[in-house]
A and B are shown apart, each in its own frame.
Chain A
């Protein structure tokens, strides 16, 4: 099973039959819970990265929230464990997971994405009262 086949398999799992990577290795969709998901194959095709957009920082000086996100990352244990990241230009907080294509069976990728979506929904609920505009 190659990367394009696994992305098609992911599409089947999330109910998008013609889901595929574009020529730059990107794909995106929005879940029923309005969670924005991005997939990205790295240039060397060694990793498939999953990003779930949790929300947007309400203000620039949000040290407490950023520290909370980085502290939560300290508990991330194991391969493909989701961790928080930040998109500077869009001010979006992202929950990310990286799937090493060459070291894990590709068939495991959809399960990693499903777990990321479940965790992202839980984190949106947890962070809704923080300094974050949750989508």
Chain B
């Protein structure tokens, strides 16, 4: 399956008229109020599901540790990272060649469940005592 074909199938499944690919090879959409980004590699041989789950305070050891630990214990291929603005980014890459839409949709449902878990978790105030902590990250 190629990326445009996948987007056509996804738009049909979600009953959206069409999904557009931007100049970066990405497509933005929203599912259950959750903004998602679908991106491809420059070679267009893989697709990534990406989403921001919230912000982490750079001093919040407990939460940083829980993010890294989840990368080891997660039973799927979902990875957690932190971008330059301290946003927690959830990413899952899938090779396109052998990918069937049914499998992609299953992966996307699991991805959204994982996203909901971390969005809720990161919305709570940190458990670590942070000097000078404000509610900026709550």
Contact between chains at A78 and B93 (CB < 8 Å): yes
**Shortest Cβ distance from A70 into B: residue:** B82
Contact (Cβ within 8 A) A100 B95: yes
CB-nearest residue of chain B to A92? B72
Q: Is the interface of B mostly helix, strand, loop or mixed?
A: mixed
Kindly supply a per-residue 1/0 record for chain A positions 81-101, scoring 1 wherever the CB is within 8 Å of any chain B CB and 0 otherwise. 101111110000110101010
- Hey, what's the 0/1 contact readout for B36-52 against A, CB within 8 Å counting as 1? 00000100001010000
Contact stretch, chosen from B13-21, B53-61, B116-124 = B53-61
A64 to chain B, nearest CB (A): 8
Question: Given A63-B59, A67-B58, A70-B81, A84 and B68 touching (CB < 8 A)?
Answer: yes
Contact (Cβ within 8 A) B98 A83: no
* Min CB–CB distance A47 → chain B (angstroms): 7
Q: How far is the CB of B90 from chain A (nearest CB, A)?
A: 11
Q: Which residue of A lies closest to B72 (CB)?
A: A85
Cα distance A101–B32 when bound, in Å?
30
Q: Report the minimum CB–CB distance from B78 to chain A (whole Å).
A: 9
By the criterion CB–CB under 8 Å, are A70 and B46 in contact?
no
Name the prevailing secondary structure of the A interface residues.
mixed
The verdict on B6 contacting chain A, using a C-beta distance below 8 Å, is no
Assess the B71–A73 pair: CB atoms within 8 A.
yes
Residues from chain B with a CB closer than 8 A to the CB of A74 are: 81-84, 89
- Determine which of A51, A71, A78, A96 lies in contact with B41 in the assembled complex, contact meaning CB atoms within 8 Å: A78
Contact between B95 and A69 (Cβ–Cβ < 8 Å)?
no
Q: Kindly state the separation between the CA atoms of A64 and B64 in the bound complex, as whole angstroms.
A: 9
B99 at the interface (CB under 8 A from A): yes
Q: Is the CB of A71 within 8 A of B83?
A: yes
Check if B71 sits within 8 Å of A83, measured CB to CB: yes
